[in-house]
A and B are shown apart, each in its own frame.
Chain A
């Protein structure tokens, strides 16, 4: 409760709360008695209030326990304000915060889940990937944390790698996948303003020819020179890519942004920025372990992404 822009407001709010409770108690005490009209035989007739000439208010006093309840709740309010935050920015003697309460319940939940994960933490990724229960859990984690970009079927989308095809930008060993998950990745394809548009079209045709796509032979031949001096540094002399840099293999049928000539021209002209966020702060190590196994299993030992 540090939302007050100066201390005065906090004191003011606290004062209003306390005065309110005190006023409630005063109201109860001051209204203990009422004037009632007694008849000749001593019975109570009414309160003497009359409306419209003939509408009277009978005397139906509250039960005393009701008044006691009222007082008890006033005391309860005071006790509450001492124990819990409520009086301006006074944090309460118990030190309770909603945030702390959430953290506590999350810690408790994680503690309760520990035995569920414990079995898998000591296993190799390959073993975990073969365990149907672990795959089921992995799939749920994937749908919660990864499917937003990679798709529910892990098949990727434009700019988001397909995780099921066995083609890996940064390597597909369990260790590589785990590193990707923990640290995240930043894939950068720089733009090439030093090339003119003709050279770019040439290099695009050359790149298409590498993976056997239809291309203009003349342009591709010219483009091979452009490639050697500009692209081979990252994508390798044969266009096989480089997993240390995350540079894609240009000789296969897998395209992260699309393989049409126009798309490749756009890629070379403007560059591409890709970002895999780090999961280190988001997911516990046990969960990352399970996810690694799940993702690795998608393209190895042919585990189906759906768990029956």
Chain B
């Protein structure tokens, strides 16, 4: 132990052995109003309108957004994605990660504070809790000694859980509505004819919502969430964070409103502890930045209201940067540091990837072709007439229109594409959103080419009728043609 402990901590006095495991203290966050609370409310509404509303939107006579796992097709408005399109999911995940890095570098844990489902559902559940049981002190009293389990307590608790479970089940129902058409799901639910898996997932997501937003709350952020741990390392000296201005606030202490606190040797913090009371993770922001802070800004709103009451300038707790606190800069000059290399690099990455994503989505070719040469035999000789190689061709039509497909084999003189009856393949019809597998023969006249392996390629041309216009799609697949000795 060093003689001068850092951070001005008092000198330790004794070493005591105590339990390594902490019993959870239930947190009763006080309700808060203000700028950031309003922003959170807006985001809660925006994200949940999207989540609860999207499955009910229809498009071209089907559900607009449907992830059909059984048919292995993802419908997203006008786009039908096949398993082969998994690259888009990869891109989307990379983009999400980069966006998280960017937001975190600029203003800390914005995602956690305003958009994370854990925060959003906790916010919804706490709102219900407040409406049923009252605000912080009423809830503390209700759970405390003075309210033994009686009729009123039972009534309040049952009401609260009933409303919670209602929302939880609706959430679970909406969630599985992304995977099975929600209208049929609704009628199945009414007739109690849900399948065993649907029932399981419905209950699973309902239970998870109820458990996480009703009971686990800040425990998820503190002990389970990986984002919480690694977002903390993505902030630097120029990141805007929820910060208590120590220089202005300390030494803290209560005082009468009329007193001149500077002559008393006090800072601006009146030690009212409101910032601790409103904190959803139950920390004291005045201890500085800590990993439990989800950056929700509730303490900012609360502290500003107190500062207004005691007639001090606002912003004792505010979004600001470490550099601004150290150098006593204004936020205006701190904003100038936003455009720093890490932010520019993230932005550049995001811009390039988004462009690539959109371009490749717009120019996506719904015609896909696979050619597999039969492995069993090298080639077949039809005595003295021609050499045949056998292939299986798989033509996938990922569009929502019919396709008329022509197949040509090129790369060697006089190649003909025949069906297994030996007739020349002219035009193949492939139904919308389906695939067709057919064995084909490719034949070359005997004696024209030397024996050996020849790289050939299949030119596949599809005509797709989209409304009144004809779209031509092409694919080129490589393969090998063998002429035996």
Contact = CB atoms under 8 A, between A and B. Distances in A.
A40 B10 CA distance: 7
A62 B22 contact: yes
Contacts of B83: none
Contact of B420 (A65, A304, A308): A304
B374 A147 contact: yes
A33 B19 contact: yes
Interface in A38-95: 38-41, 45, 48, 50, 53-54, 56, 61-67
A164 B418 CA distance: 14
B17 A33 contact: yes
B380 interface: yes
A306 B438 contact: yes
Contacts of B12: 37-39, 45, 48
Contacts of A259: 383
B213 to A, nearest CB: 17
A32 interface: yes
A160 B377 CA distance: 9
B359 interface: no
Nearest to A148: B376
A151 B378 CA distance: 10
Contacts of A45: 5, 9-10, 12
Contacts of A149: 376
B20 A158 contact: no
A229 interface: no
A308 B428 CA distance: 8
Contacts of A154: 420, 439
B229 interface: no
Interface string B283-308: 00000000000000000000000000
A152 interface: yes
B49 interface: no
A62 B13 contact: no
Contact of B20 (A31, A50, A151): A31
Nearest to A254: B383
Contact of B390 (A155, A158, A304): A155
Interface residues of A, number: 49
Contact of A155 (B5, B11, B13, B380): B380
Contacts of A302: 421
A153 B392 CA distance: 9
A255 B384 CA distance: 12
B226 interface: no
Contacts of A65: 24, 219
A63 B441 contact: no
A37 B15 contact: yes
B377 A39 contact: no
B2 interface: yes
B420 A305 contact: yes
B14 A37 contact: yes
A147 B381 CA distance: 17
Contacts of A21: none
Contact of A39 (B11, B222, B381, B391): B11
A65 B15 CA distance: 26
Interface residue tally on B, bucketed by range:
35 or more
B416 to A, nearest CB: 14
Contact of A38 (B16, B21, B380, B383): B16
B429 A32 contact: no
A151 to B, nearest CB: 5
A38 B381 contact: no
A155 B421 CA distance: 9
A32 B21 contact: yes
**Interface-central residue, B15, B23, B440, by most chain A CB under 10 Å:** B15
A32 B2 contact: no
Given A40-B11, A53-B2, A155-B441, A63 B21 contact: yes
A36 B18 contact: yes
A158 B377 CA distance: 8
Nearest to B216: A65
A304 B11 CA distance: 93
Given A62-B20, A148-B375, A36 B15 contact: yes
Contacts of B11: 39-40
B419 interface: yes
A33 B20 contact: yes
Interface string A274-308: 00000000000000000000000000001011111
Contact of A153 (B19, B428, B439): B439
B133 to A, nearest CB: 23
Contacts of B438: 306-307
A7 interface: no
Contacts of B21: 32, 61-64, 66-67
A151 B24 contact: no
A255 B383 contact: yes
Contact of B380 (A39, A66, A156): A156
A61 B429 CA distance: 67
B322 interface: no
A66 B1 CA distance: 31
A66 B223 contact: yes
A262 interface: no
Nearest to B436: A308
Contacts of A103: none
Interface string A225-243: 0000000000000000000
A24 to B, nearest CB: 16
B219 A63 contact: yes
Contacts of B421: 164, 302, 304-306
Interface in B1-53: 1-2, 5-6, 9-24
B123 interface: no
A61 B374 CA distance: 63
Interface in B315-361: none
Contact of B419 (A37, A38, A156, A304): A304
B245 interface: no
Interface of B: 1-2, 5-6, 9-24, 219, 222-223, 374-377, 380-381, 383, 388, 390-392, 419-421, 428-429, 437-441
A-B CB proximity, top 9 nearest: A157-B377, A153-B420, A152-B439, A305-B420, A61-B22, A153-B439, A37-B12, A64-B21, A306-B438
Given A36-B15, A158-B377, A164-B421, 9 more contacts: A35-B16, A36-B18, A39-B9, A143-B437, A151-B380, A152-B374, A155-B441, A158-B381, A164-B420
Interface of A: 31-41, 45, 48, 50, 53-54, 56, 61-67, 143, 147-158, 160, 164, 253, 255, 258-259, 302, 304-308
